């Protein structure tokens, strides 16, 4: 079972003006939390700004822990990412220009921040060129995620994409083999050629990779499991998958 963790104070900013300034400075704002019942003119201006930038808004009770007493929060607090996001459409051509063989990991709705951090750590150690996550529906890049990754999230490029289906199309059109790592496959991962440009897709902890994403993949593959075992923890499975790629490329 996964638990939603409240944002830590180290990645929260408070106050309407501070949030507006963060957006103007192109800071990566994950979401903004608003006290229920706040309807001042300044708040309406902030809400319009958030809508124009497509930043998620969450309404919380006035007594919510995220609004500490004594802090001039003006009824608003924003969760700001501790990392800068990259564009996958810029990374892939750059890799080809450098003569490298692209190695991408796509995370379809991984929700547990500890799993996300552990995957990032394995990916960085394995030389993965970029992690791709959805803008909504997955774990956010928080200080907890950075800590779990042992700092790897400060070093591996993270691409936060609005539409993973469009991202899959970009990967396929760019010449990458897109492999869904799923128990629904009929062959094993080690039977795939991972020496070519490749993107490995890992799915949600409970439901796996969504059908819409699987349909966009060029191949499906599974990790060998002992009889009676249905699946591995997704961070463990991701570690096995990326190091199978490393093994084939050595």
> What confidence score (pLDDT) does residue 173 get?
97
Q: What are phi and psi of 158, to 5 degrees?
A: -115, 125
Both structure tokens of 78:
């924003």
The CATH architecture of the domain made up of 9-80 is 2-Layer Sandwich (3.30)
> What confidence score (pLDDT) does residue 134 get?
92
Domain 9-80 identical in fold to domain 88-249: no
> What confidence score (pLDDT) does residue 190 get?
95
11: left (phi over 0), alpha (psi -120 to 50) or beta: alpha
For the CA atoms of the chain, what is the radius of gyration? 20
250 residues of the chain, pLDDT tens digit each: 232 334 444 578 899 999 999 888 778 888 899 999 888 899 999 999 999 998 989 999 988 888 877 677 888 999 888 888 899 999 999 999 999 999 999 999 999 999 999 999 999 999 999 999 998 888 888 888 889 999 999 899 999 998 999 999 999 999 999 999 998 888 999 999 999 999 999 999 888 899 999 999 999 999 988 876 677 899 999 999 999 999 999 9
> What confidence score (pLDDT) does residue 78 get?
92
> What confidence score (pLDDT) does residue 70 get?
67
Q: Does domain 88-249 have CATH number 3.40.1280.10?
A: yes
Q: CA geometry: angle at 248 spanning 176 and 243, to 5°?
A: 85
Question: Under a CB-based contact definition with an 8 Å cutoff, are residues 224 and 192 in contact?
Answer: no
Tell me the three-class secondary structure of the chain, residue by residue: CCCCCCCCHHHEEECHHHHHHHHHCCCCEEEEEEECCCCCHHHHHHHHHHHHCCCCEEEECCCCCCCCCCCCCCCEEEEECCCCCCCHHHHHHHHHHCCCCCEEEEECCCCCHHHHHHHHHHHHHHCCCEEEEECCCCCCCCHHHHHHCCCHHHCCCEEEECCHHHHHHHHHHCCCEEEEECCCCCCEHHHCCCCCCEEEEECECCCECCHHHHCCCCEEEECCCCCCCCCCCHHHHHHHHHHHHHHHHC
* Per-residue b or e along 61-73, where b marks 16 or more CB atoms closer than 10 Å to that residue's CB: eeeeebbeeeeeb
The ranges assigned to domains in the chain are: 9-80, 88-249
Look at the pTM and tell me if it is higher than 0.85: no
């Amino acid at each position: 079972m996964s638990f939603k963790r409240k944002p830590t104070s180290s990645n929260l900013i408070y106050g309407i003006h501070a949030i507006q300034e963060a957006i103007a400075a192109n800071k990566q704002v994950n979401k903004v939390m608003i006290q229920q019942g706040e309807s001042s003119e300044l708040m309406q201006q902030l809400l319009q700004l958030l809508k124009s930038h497509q930043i998620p808004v969450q309404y919380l009770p006035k007594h919510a822990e995220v609004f500490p007493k004594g802090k001039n929060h003006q009824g608003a607090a924003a969760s700001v990412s501790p990392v800068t996001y990259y564009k996958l459409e810029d990374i892939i051509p750059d890799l080809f220009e450098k003569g490298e063989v692209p190695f991408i990991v796509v995370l379809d709705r991984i929700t547990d921040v500890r799993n996300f951090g552990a995957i990032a750590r394995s990916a960085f150690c394995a030389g993965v060129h970029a992690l791709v996550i959805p803008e909504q529906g997955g774990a956010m890049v928080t200080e907890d995620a950075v800590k779990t990754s042992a700092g790897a999230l400060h070093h591996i490029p993270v691409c936060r994409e609005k539409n993973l289906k469009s991202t899959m199309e970009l990967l396929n059109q760019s010449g990458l083999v897109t492999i869904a790592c799923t128990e629904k496959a009929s062959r094993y991962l080690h039977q795939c050629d991972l020496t070519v440009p490749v993107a490995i897709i890992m799915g949600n902890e409970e439901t796996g990779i969504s059908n819409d994403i699987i349909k966009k993949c060029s191949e499906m593959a599974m990790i060998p499991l002992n009889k009676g075992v249905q699946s591995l923890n997704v961070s463990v499975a991701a570690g096995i998958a990326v190091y199978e790629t490393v093994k084939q490329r050595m």
